[in-house]
Amino acid sequence: MYLGRQPILDRDQRLHAYELLFRSDNVNAANITDGMAATATVIANAFSELGVEAALGNCRGFINVDEEFLFSDMLELLPRHKVVLELLETVPPSPAVIERCRALRAAGFTLALDDVTQLVPDYAELLQLVDIVKIDIQHLSEDELQELTGQLRPSGKTLLAEKVDSRAQMEHCMALGFALFQGYYFARPTIIAGRKLDHSQLSLSKLLSLLLSDADSGEIEQVLKPEPGLTMNLLRMINSVGSSASETITSLSQAIAVLGRRQLQRWLQLLLFASPGQSTASSPLLHLAATRGRLMELMAREMAPEAPGFADQAFMVGIMSLMPALVGQPIRDIVAPLGLGDEVKAALCNGSGPFAALLKLAECSEDGDLSRLAECFAQCPAIGPKALNRAQTEALRWASSIGQERQG
């Protein structure tokens, strides 16, 4: 998974924002063939695969938006305080575009107009709606640039000089009153690489279908359970859009409730656009994570049959326990921004709390370590060998049925 990122600086050359750029590999070039898919991929990678903290830190992100994506419902998934919607020069100033921009601005989005080199009368109304004007200084002489900035300055718009490649260009733009700067003189785009968590296109389609048919949340949860990668990215997305500021996530059903059905639908649509040809096959580790989660859920039901929330949390511990191997990060770094419940975090990070013994029992059962199994049974008196065998059989049957369904 790759994401390009170029700094945008203020007049004191302090970091102000990043422009987020589509990259399909570790070569620093866009290679865009589908603007809609490219923007969807940038958003999915920044806010779901990486998480907002890893992608942007405390800064805002400029995201290129073409005409098709401008009208997409997926835009409304984005956190308004963290993004600037950068309207590409290909977006026409049609009445429909004007109306859409007016609605987005009223909803709290910040708009920027990209690659401006002259003032065209047709764009006058659109110009009134944007907050930031990005001027491509490479295509203008010093006199033309001075004239253009003189025309724009009375509007009160924030002027951003892009493609600043030398100190002389920077100083000239400073003298003309530009507030923001971007270009190779300051920094070339860098590439952030990470491990992409695979997910089944079949599951994405099923989830969308359930949401569109107003299905019960329990049905939605059952489709999410076999998809640890989706679950991990769902938690990251909740954190990225700011929905979990005052929420503690203890189960999948709660994660669905916190994000909300409408936002969940937008997120799934985004993932489908971002990876239209993605394989339905999952990695063996993801399969093991799902199986372990199911095993812990079943054992937790044996321990506390009257407390369904206990089983839900056990499932979360099971799938999250293999995330370090899947994403190549320490468990503390993975868990920190996700808003998980204290008992879930204690089991994962410290090996303590009510779920830690269940996790050890699940790990020992996978390893076939009989000596450690005896110790684990002692820590989980409600779970004996027969109960473990029943849970293992059911978890493996459940995981096998998922694999067969995908192949079908």
Identify the pLDDT of residue 159. 95
Q: Tell me, yes or no, whether 205 and 164 share the same domain.
A: no
Last residue of a domain, one of 193, 223, 256: 193
Q: Same structural domain for residues 163 and 229?
A: no
Q: What share of the chain is helix, strand, coil (3-state, %, to 5)?
A: 55, 15, 30
Q: What is the residue range of 231's domain?
A: 201-407
Q: What's the CATH number where 114 sits?
A: 3.20.20.450
Please tell me the predicted confidence (pLDDT) of residue 348. 92
Of 142, 163, 193, at which residue does a domain stop? Answer: 193
Question: Could you tell me if 166 and 222 lie in one domain?
Answer: no
pLDDT (tens digit per residue) in 200-246: 666 777 787 788 778 888 888 888 887 888 888 888 777 776 644 45
Alpha-carbon torsion 353, 355, 358, 362, what sign?
negative
Same domain, 233 and 350: yes
CB 134 within 8 A of CB 64: no
Report the CATH number at residue 320.
Answer: 1.10.3210.10
Q: Are residues 225 and 139 in the same domain?
A: no
pLDDT attached to residue 27? 54
Extract the residue ranges of the chain whose pLDDT is less than 70: 1, 24-35, 46, 48-49, 51, 194-202, 241-247, 272-283, 369, 402-408
Q: How many domains does the chain have?
A: 2
**Nearby residues of 94 by Cβ (< 8 Å), 6 or more positions away:** none
Whether residues 159 and 251 share a domain: the answer is no
| Whether the Cβ atoms of residue 320 and residue 334 lie closer than 8 Å to each other | yes
Q: Is residue 184 domain-shared with residue 206, that is, in the same domain? A: no
Q: Are residues 108 and 206 in the same domain?
A: no
* Dist CA 201 CA 281 (whole Å): 9
Are 305 and 159 within one domain? no
Domain identity same for 155 and 284:
no
Domain end residue (candidates: 193, 227, 250): 193
Predicted pLDDT at 281: 46
Do 223 and 121 lie in a common domain? no
Q: Would you state the pLDDT for residue 49?
A: 67
Q: Is 235 exposed, middle or buried (0-12, 13-18, 19+ CB in 10 A)?
A: buried
Query: What pLDDT, on a 0 to 100 scale, did the predictor assign at position 32?
Result: 56
Q: What is the pLDDT of residues 394-407, one digit of tens each?
A: 888 887 776 555 55
Task: Identify whether residues 71 and 205 lie together within a single domain.
Answer: no
CA atoms of 362 and 367, how far apart (whole Å): 9
